[in-house]
């Protein structure tokens, strides 16, 4: 069964919110409802992305020499799959993910966005055999403000550990520890069935 398991960036965001989301969703197959903030944002983002994406535009100032749009990729060794808005190929031989966000730029990159970009970077490294040293995020609600996010080797290592942990929950049907932040339980869609 483990060969068929593919974790998505959405799964990772859920895990980072609370590891038990993986157990309830994957093992008990209890779907989340409208409160599922990750899926709701995805829907909005898809709409926005279509409006802002310019499929032919090359960001020359960033050193982009080529790009591919909306690339579905999987990385079997990591049990990871996902779709990257843009894969940028840079003049120094490296590659980078670019992700459109239906969000305003507030001066710092949220942990969720960082995590997604790192996972996209992993997919790119695995599929294109290119070095990935950074990711780009476009904030569509701040006039398409573009932010560059460095990605270090430790970031990839941390992401691999998270993927491994998620895989263990799924494969071993392991009931994980709850989130460290008890305030998250207050409006959680699983709070009535979650053993505290
Ligand atoms: S109730 Fe709390 S511990 Fe349980 S799944 Fe929700 S956030 Fe996690």
Ligand 1 centre from 10 Cα, in Å? 17
Pick from 36-45, 102-111, 169-178: least confident: 36-45
Phi and psi (nearest 5°) for 80? Answer: -120, 140
Let me know if residue 23 belongs to a domain: yes
What is the domain-level CATH number for residue 34?
Answer: 3.90.320.10
- Number of domains composing the chain: 1
Distances (CA, A) of 25 to 8, 99, 172, 184, 196: 13, 26, 14, 17, 17
Let me know if residue 195 belongs to a domain: no
CA 27, CA 156: separation in Å to the nearest integer? 27
Over the stretch 43-86, which tens digit does the pLDDT of each residue have? 666 666 666 666 667 788 899 999 999 999 999 999 999 999 99
Let me know if residue 191 belongs to a domain: no
**How crowded is residue 61: how many other Cβ atoms within 10 Å of its Cβ?**
7
CA 93, CA 42: separation in Å to the nearest integer? 31
Let me know if residue 104 belongs to a domain: yes
What pLDDT does 131 receive? Answer: 98
Let me know if residue 193 belongs to a domain: no
Let me know if residue 192 belongs to a domain: no
Over the stretch 78-120, which tens digit does the pLDDT of each residue have? 999 999 999 999 999 999 999 999 889 999 999 999 999 999 9
Average pLDDT over residues 146-170: 97
Let me know if residue 182 belongs to a domain: yes
* pTM of the complete model: 0.89
Residues of the domain holding 175? 2-186
Ligand 1 centre from 152 Cα, in Å? 31
Query: If you take atom 3 of ligand 1, which residue's CA is the nearest one?
Result: 178
What pLDDT does 185 receive? Answer: 93
Query: If you take atom 7 of ligand 1, which residue's CA is the nearest one?
Result: 185
């Amino acid at each position: 069964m483990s060969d068929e398991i593919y974790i998505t960036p959405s799964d990772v965001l859920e895990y980072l919110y609370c590891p038990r989301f993986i157990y309830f969703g994957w093992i008990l197959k209890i779907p989340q409802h409208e409160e599922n903030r990750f899926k709701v944002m995805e829907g909005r983002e898809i709409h926005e992305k279509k409006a802002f994406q310019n499929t032919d535009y090359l960001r020359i100032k960033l050193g982009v020499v080529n790009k591919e749009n909306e690339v579905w990729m999987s990385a079997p060794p990591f049990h990871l799959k996902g779709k990257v808005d843009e894969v940028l190929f840079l003049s120094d031989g490296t590659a980078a993910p670019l992700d459109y966000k239906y969000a305003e730029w507030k001066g710092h990159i949220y942990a969720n966005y960082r995590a997604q970009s790192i996972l996209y970077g992993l997919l790119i490294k695995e599929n294109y055999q290119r070095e990935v040293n950074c990711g780009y995020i476009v904030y569509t609600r701040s006039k398409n403000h573009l932010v560059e996010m460095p990605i270090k080797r430790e970031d990839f290592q941390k992401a691999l550990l998270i993927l491994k942990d998620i895989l263990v929950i799924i494969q071993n049907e392991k009931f994980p520890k709850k989130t460290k932040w008890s305030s998250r339980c207050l409006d959680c869609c699983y709070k009535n069935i979650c053993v505290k």
